Amino acid sequence: MDSLNLRNRIESIDDLPTLPVVVTQILQATKSLSTNANDVGKLISDDQSLTVKVLKLVNSPFYGFPQKIKTITHAIVILGFAKVKNIVLAASVFGMTKGPKNSTVDICSLWEHALTTGIVCRQLAKLRNSKLDIEEAFVAGLLHDLGKVILICNLEDICEQVSAIVREKDCLFYEAEKELFDFGHDKIGVWLAEKWNLNPDMIEGIKCHHQPQKARGDKLMAYILHAGDIIARALDVGNGGDNKIPLMDPKVAEELDLTTENLDKLMISVLAELDKAKDFFDLIHDQN
């Protein structure tokens, strides 16, 4: 199957995942210089279910605030628009898709892998002391496998064919995809990310997380997603559709300064963050 035919099939799907209206409004509002905390707070607070999820995550050990944050407006004042926007996005995506009961790839396991990748990416951005916002890195890691979500939930026949190749050849899910239709979930994820009007750096990172050298412009997001995905696989939390751990691009390891010593520090910090992320993992299972 070629790229055009598969894209046409995907775009003809009636229940292709879409961001909830309130999330789209929040993403737009946080781009405006005239928007204030009360404006965004009202948008979120008007959705009671989203409010409960966001406040639960904001008050989780993952963010570690000593005093309880009781309102969305208070959360925005303390955390800022950008961080709250990304928490809203994270709180929303887990429940957008329901995997088939007999799917060859379990949707909960996939989201667990994606969440772990996001946590690794957040720590990579923090340890790198880069201009890249650590919460942007977290959400990009969380969404890096969007294309697999589409395959699992909307294209069961193709997902089964890919999984059959994975089992037969003991290869990466990505390699099986390329054998079947000459491109991978990275490209499919970009189509959805573009529909959602995500940050261009996120879109480029999703597009190139398997081939980071192909990223246009600043490659840092692609580098962090590439390393984050591989390290998350090594931690064996969740499952990305296969049991392989690909080799890391040497240039990525060099640019991110992933020496043995720094990698040890990273793993210690990631394991500590995973212990604090129970509320995120609970949300995955509650919504799937």
CATH code: domain of residue 252: 1.10.3210.10
Structural domains counted in the chain: 2
Same domain, 278 and 148: yes
Of 55, 75, 95, the position where a domain reaches its end is 95
Q: Where is the domain boundary, 95, 114, 148?
A: 95
**48/185 same-domain check:** no
107 and 46 belong to one structural domain: no
Helical H segments across 33-184, by residue range: 37-45, 48-58, 72-79, 81-93, 107-128, 134-143, 146-154, 156-169, 173-181
CA gap 81, 40 in Å, rounded? 8
> What pLDDT band is residue 98 in, cutting at 50, 70 and 90?
low
pLDDT band, very low/low/confident/very high, at 33 (cuts 50, 70, 90): confident
Mean pLDDT is lowest, of 13-22, 113-122, 259-268, for 13-22
Q: In terms of residue numbers, what domain contains 75?
A: 19-95
**Residues 73, 146 within the same domain:** no
Q: Are residues 90 and 161 in the same domain?
A: no
The mean predicted confidence, pLDDT, of the chain is 88
Report pTM.
0.91
Most confident of 22-26, 31-35, 171-175, 183-187: 171-175
Q: Is 195 in the same domain as 227?
A: yes
- Is 79 inside any structural domain? yes
- In this structure, the answer to whether residues 62 and 114 fall within a common structural domain is no
On whether both 169 and 180 belong to a single domain, the answer is: yes
What pLDDT was estimated at residue 213? 95
**Domain stop point among 95, 129, 149:** 95
Sign of CA dihedral 238, 241, 243, 249: negative
Domain shared by 192 and 275, yes or no: yes
DSSP for 226-266? HHHHHHHHHHT-S-SSSS--PPPPHHHHHHTT--HHHHHHH
Whether 145 and 174 share a structural domain: yes
Are 82 and 30 spatial neighbours (Cβ–Cβ below 8 Å)? yes
